[in-house]
Amino acid sequence: MTTDSPRWFTSSYSSNGGACVEVATNIPGTVPVRDTKDREAGTLTFRANSWSVFVQFASQKDTL
């Protein structure tokens, strides 16, 4: 268990219109994700390696 507080950020590709997700990558081994429109609704937490695979897949969307 960690006592680190998440440091949230959005993608540099986001137009900051409020319709995106925020992630925190400062928590060892996990990546919490939340909706910018409703930050108090809770988070989804992924294992860091699973999040990395997802990001790699999503970045290839134009080549599929």
Parse the chain into domains and list their residue ranges. Answer: 8-63
Residue 3 vs residue 44, higher pLDDT: 44
Given a cut of 60, whether residue 2 has pLDDT beyond it is no
What are all long-range contacts of 28-35, with beta carbons under 8 Å and residues at least 24 apart?
28/2, 28/4, 32/6, 34/8
pLDDT at 63 over 70: no
Task: Evaluate whether 32 touches 23 at the Cβ level (below 8 Å).
Answer: yes
Q: What is the mean pLDDT of residues 28-39?
A: 92
Q: How far is CA 63 from the centre of its chain?
A: 22
Predicted confidence at residue 1, as pLDDT, reads 47
Whole-number pLDDT of residue 31: 96
C-alpha Rg value of the chain to the nearest Å = 13
